Each structure stands twice: as structure tokens, then as C-alpha cells.
Amino acid sequence: MKEESNLKVLCDTIDPEDSGDEGSETQFEIGSQYANMYDLLDLHTHFGEDDFQSIYMSSINDIKEQNIKNQATLCLRLLEKIYEIYEYEFPESPVLNSQSDLNEVYNLVEFLEFNNEQFLVGVWSGLKVKNLVKLDLDIYFYGNKDNILKLLEQITNNSLLYKNDSLVNKFLNSCYKEALTRIFIKMTRRLKIEITSKLMEGYK
């Protein structure tokens, strides 16, 4: 029922492009528009889930071919999901008037969901930890919360890693540090093997 409700909300706000033709060509266009709507729904529905990256990578190029209005609708829904899942809301609503604006939302979504390994490696390197696989993360986080908060603040204030992604930068610098710590923990759990591999390479 939830997926059907999401589909109705998105379908009500999607702006089908006028094909200007009739017959089989028009039917093809209508079919393509419904496929596009399901791409939007799929991305929105699976945000925050384990299979999100594969769904995102398989659909994002097609989504970027849609008109600005439809993409902006999706981006607004994704920003709502960011608030729902990560408890973060931008101080001011991002402008979504151009493809460049929309791409910044996509970059933020990528950072939150899967494209954050370099950021995480930087934090864990600063914490002088090299093997997360053998580490009890819950115990470590509980005992080192202040150190993690301090290092996150240093890195987010000084990092040039995301200097060209203004929404990622705004997120890192305006997210409440307690919430950022929870997000850092969530990201780490997803990639602890990959992070450990990178950390081990740095100690060779």
C-alpha cells in the first residue's frame, strides 16, 4: 500500500511531455513516460535500503534525461527522505532550477548512500584505527564519541574533498554533530571491509 501511495503522489506531480504525435509512436511515448515514473518511484522507495546503489546506478542516467520539473519533484522527495532517514534538513531549501542544481542533490544522495569511502578513510586514519573488521564498533563508538566528534568537526571544516559539491559541503558543515556522528557510524557499518583494506594499504 505504501508503494502504491508513493506512486500516486509522484504520478500526480509528474509532468508528462507532449509527444505531439499519434498512433503507435504516441503509445510508445506514453509507455516511456510510465517507465520514467517507475524509475522515479523506484529510486524514492528504495532510498536508505541496501539495494539503493544498484537501483540508483541503473536508473540515474535515464532520470537525468527527464525534464527539470520532473527531476525537481524527485529531488524534493529525496530531500524529504534525507530528513526522514538522516534527521537532517537544510537551513534554507536548496534551489532546484537547473540541471546543475539537481546534480548537487544527486551528489549529496550519492555521498550519503554509497560514495563516501574516501571521507570515511580520512576520519578513521585520524583516529589511528586500521582494522575495523576486528573492532567492536558499538564499544568503540561509545568510548570514543568525543574524539570522533572533534575529528569530524576538524575534517568537515578543513576538507577540500567536496569543495565543488556545495550541498555536500553545506551538509557537512551545518549538520548537527551528534547527528553527523550517527550518520558516520551508519556509513562505516556499510563499508568496514573496504575501509579496512584502504587503511591497511596506508600502513604498509
Could you tell me the residue range of the domain that residue 204 belongs to?
116-204
In a domain, 102, yes or no: no
- Mean pLDDT (whole number) for 174-183: 86
Q: How far apart are CA 176 and CA 153, in angstroms?
A: 10
Which is nearest to 201 in space by CA: 119, 115, 123, 125? 125
Confidence category of residue 154, pLDDT binned at 50, 70, 90: confident
In a domain, 64, yes or no: no
The fraction of the chain above a pLDDT of 90, given in percent, is 41
In a domain, 28, yes or no: no
Q: Tens of pLDDT along 43-96?
A: 888 898 889 999 999 999 999 999 999 999 999 999 999 999 998 988 888 999
In a domain, 171, yes or no: yes
Number of domains composing the chain: 1
In a domain, 187, yes or no: yes
In a domain, 43, yes or no: no
DSSP 95: P
**For the whole model, what pTM was predicted?**
0.80
Q: Tens of pLDDT along 1-29?
A: 444 444 445 555 555 554 344 444 443 34
Confidence category of residue 40, pLDDT binned at 50, 70, 90: confident
In a domain, 100, yes or no: no
In a domain, 45, yes or no: no
